[in-house]
Amino acid sequence: MSVLEIKNLHVNVETDQGTREILRGVDLVINEGEIHAIMGPNGSGKSTLAYTIAGHPKYTVVEGEILLDGENVLEMSVDERARAGLFLAMQYPVEIPGVTVTNFLRTAKTAIDGEAPSVRHWVKDVRTAMGNLKMDSAFAERNVNEGFSGGEKKRNEILQLELLKPKFAVLDETDSGLDVDALKIVSEGVNRAKENTGLGILLITHYTRILRYIKPDFVHVFVAGKIAEQGGPELADRLEDEGYDRYQVAETASAE
């Protein structure tokens, strides 16, 4: 039984105006097979949490721990974290000129598994996964994310999720900018990955609409760099009706 634990996480970012504290004590435990939704207003630090878990060099952990099955994730390099079973579907996937999707997927799979996948199965797996995500096979020969539309980039992230089979996936606003059809396709991909591998999911979102397709076990409301409230799926319904204002008012009041 795998578990990802985040304990009292404080994170700073260096900006032109100096150091800024963004995460202010985040506690979260995700077990294998669980879906945790993190919901919060823009600028509350959701992507910072996602990037920090993945090890982006811009974010400095000043206090706290991240443990994967008891192992100290913060001591691992970005690629070591991925090989240990962590996956981040990015809010803004990066274009990689000169590297085709096919080449990229094979290289990543080989790195994660520690050995090259068997050619026959791999080609079939990629084709099936692309078909499931309604990605034209022509994408395989295009450069990673280069010239992809927003929706195509998100599908490409979920394609990687399905093929790389991590233990835990952080999905950073995978729903943003998707039309309903694309949202359904992407959600089905996430649900399929969970069914097939039993991974744990940290689903970061600004809106509740993706929760119609991906059912969370837990919902955390994220405000001003920490979790302001947590509950079950019913909390999402309340946010749908009331928005984040209630929390932000409370935050402002407590800051005074």
Partner 1 sequence: MTVATQSTAMPTAGQHGLVAHSDGPVVPVQTRSERFRSVEVADFAPVTGREHEWKLSPVAAFADLTSGELDGARLGLETSGAEGVAVEWIARDDARIGTAGTPEERASANAWTNFGEALLVRVTGEDDKIATVTRTGLGATPRAAHTVIEAAPNSRGLVVLGGTGSARLSENVEVIVGEGANLTVVSVQEWDDDAVHLASHFARIGRDAKLKHIVVSLGGKVVRVNPSTHLAEQGGDVEALGLYFSDAGQHLEQQVYVHHDAPNTRSRVTYKGALQGEGARSVWIGDVLIGNAAVGTDSYEQNRNLVLSDGTRADSIPNLEIETGDIAGAGHASATGRFDDEQLFYLMARGITEEEARRLVVRGFLTEIVQQIGVAELEERLTAALEAELQGA
Ligand X SMILES: Nc1ncnc2c1ncn2[C@@H]1O[C@H](COP(=O)(O)OP(=O)(O)O)[C@@H](O)[C@H]1O
Interacting residues with ligand X (CB under 6 A)? 13, 15, 22, 40, 42-48, 58
Nearest to 87 by CA among 64, 63, 111, 61: 111
Rank residues 87 and 244 by Cβ distance to partner 1 and give the closer one. Answer: 87
Residues 106-165 that bind Mg ion (CB under 5 A): none
Taking each helix axis as running N to C, give the angle between helix 150-164 and helix 180-197, from 0 to 180 degrees, rounded to the nearest 10.
10
Residue 42 interacting partner from ligand X, partner 1, Mg ion, none (CB closer than 5 to 8 Å by kind): ligand X
Length of the chain: 256
Residue number, 130 or 211, with CB nearest to ligand X: 211
Q: Which does 235 bind (CB under 5 to 8 A by kind): partner 1, ligand X, Mg ion, none?
A: none
Q: CA torsion, points 192, 163, 68, 233, in degrees to nearest 10?
A: -20
Q: Which residue has the tokens 């192992």?
A: 71
Strand, helix or coil at 96?
Answer: coil
**Which stretch in 16-24, 61-69, 94-102, 205-213 sits in contact with partner 1 by CB under 8 A?**
94-102
What ranges make up the beta strands (E) of 33-105? 35-39, 59-68, 71-72, 86-89
Strand, coil or helix: 208: coil
| All residues at 6 or more sequence positions from 130 whose CB lies less than 8 Å from its CB, including other chains | 136, 137, 139, 140, 159
Q: Is 94 in the site for partner 1 (CB under 8 A)?
A: yes
Question: Interface with Mg ion includes 174 (CB under 5 A)?
Answer: no
Closest contact distance (angstroms) between CB of 22 and ligand X is 4
57 binds partner 1 (CB under 8 A): yes
8-43 burial, b for 16+ CB within 10 Å, e for fewer?
Answer: ebbbbbeeeeeeeebbeebebebebebbbbbbbbee
Within 85-104, the residues that bind Mg ion by CB under 5 A are 91
Binding map of Mg ion across residues 9-48, x = CB under 5 A, - = no contact: --------------------------------------x-
Which partner in ligand X, Mg ion, partner 1, none is near 48 (CB below 5 to 8 A by kind)?
Answer: ligand X
Alpha-carbon distances of 138 from 130, 131, 134, rounded to whole Å: 10, 11, 11
Q: Residue numbers of the site for partner 1 (CB under 8 A)?
A: 54-57, 77-79, 81-83, 87-88, 90, 93-100, 103-104, 107-108, 111-112, 143, 146, 160, 164
Q: Which residues bind Mg ion (CB under 5 A)?
A: 47, 91
